[in-house]
Chains A and B, each alone.
Chain A
Amino acid sequence: MEKREYLDLYHQMVVIRRLEERSAELYQQGKIGGFLHLYIGQEAVSTGLISVRRPEDRIITAYRDHGVAINCGLSAREVMAELLGKVTGCSRGKGGSMHLADVKKNFWGGHAIVGAHLPIAAGLALGDVYQNQKAVTVCMFGDGATNIGYFHEALNLSKVWNLPVLWVCENNQYGMGTAVERASAVSEIRRKADGYGMKSEAVDGMDLMKVREVSARLYEEIRNGSGPQFLEVITYRFRGHSMGDPERYRSADEVKTWLENDPIGIYHRYLLDNKIATEEELQEQIRLAEEEVNDAVAFAEASPEPPAEELFKHIFVEE
Chain B
Amino acid sequence: MARITMREAISQALWEEMERDPSVFIMGEEVGVWGGTYAVTKGFYDHFGPERVRDTPIAEAVIVGAAIGAALTGLRPVAELMTINFAFSAMDHIVNQAAKLHYMFGGQMILPLVIRAVGGGGRQLGATHSQTPDAVFAHFPGLKVVAPGTPADAKGMLKAAIRSQDPVLFIEHATLYQTRGEVPEGDYIVPLGKSTIQREGRHVTIVTYSKMLEISTKAADQLAKEGIEVEIVDLRSLRPLDMGPVLESFKKTNRAVIVEEGWKSYGVGAEVASRIYEEAFDYVDAPIKRVAQAEVPLPYNRTLEQMALPQVEDVVKAVKEVL
Contacts and interface: CB of A to CB of B under 8 A. Distances in A.
Interface of A: 33-35, 85-86, 91, 93-99, 112-116, 144-145, 147-150, 175-178, 182-184, 246, 248-249, 305-306, 308, 310-312, 315
B123 interface: yes
B57 A144 contact: yes
B30 A177 contact: yes
Given A148-B60, A148-B89, A178-B30, A33 B302 contact: yes
Contact of A311 (B60, B85, B129, B304): B304
Interface string B50-61: 000001111111
Given A149-B61, A150-B89, 8 more contacts: A33-B300, A34-B123, A34-B129, A94-B301, A96-B124, A96-B125, A149-B59, A306-B303
Contact of B300 (A93, A147, A184): A93
B276 to A, nearest CB: 29
Interface stretch (B100-108, B177-185, B246-254, B291-299): B291-299
Interface in B45-70: 55-62
Given A113-B86, A149-B59, A34 B308 contact: no
A34 B58 contact: no
Contacts of B299: 93-94, 306, 310-311
The B interface is mostly helix, strand or loop, or mixed, namely: loop
Nearest to B90: A149
B301 A315 contact: no
Contact of B125 (A34, A91, A150, A182): A34
Nearest to A96: B300
B61 to A, nearest CB: 6
Interface of B: 29-30, 33-35, 37, 55-62, 85-86, 89, 123-129, 294-297, 299-304, 307-308
Nearest to B86: A113
A307 to B, nearest CB: 9
A183 B294 CA distance: 39
Q: Which 6 A-B pairs have the closest CB atoms?
A: A96-B300, A33-B124, A147-B57, A34-B124, A85-B301, A183-B57
Nearest to B35: A248
B300 A95 contact: yes
B308 A176 contact: no
Given A176-B30, A249-B33, A311-B304, A148 B59 contact: yes
A144 to B, nearest CB: 5
A35 B30 CA distance: 17
A93 B301 contact: yes
A246 B39 CA distance: 11
A94 B124 contact: no
A85 B56 CA distance: 33
Contact of A113 (B37, B85, B302): B85
Given A34-B300, A311-B296, A85 B124 contact: yes
Given A34-B125, A315-B296, A145 B34 contact: no
13 contacts: A33-B123, A34-B123, A34-B125, A35-B125, A94-B126, A96-B126, A145-B58, A148-B58, A178-B29, A178-B30, A311-B308, A315-B295, A315-B296
B123 A312 contact: no
A86 B301 CA distance: 7
Contacts of B307: 308, 311
Nearest to B307: A311
A312 B296 contact: yes
Contacts of B126: 34, 94-96, 98-99, 112
Contacts of A148: 57-61, 89
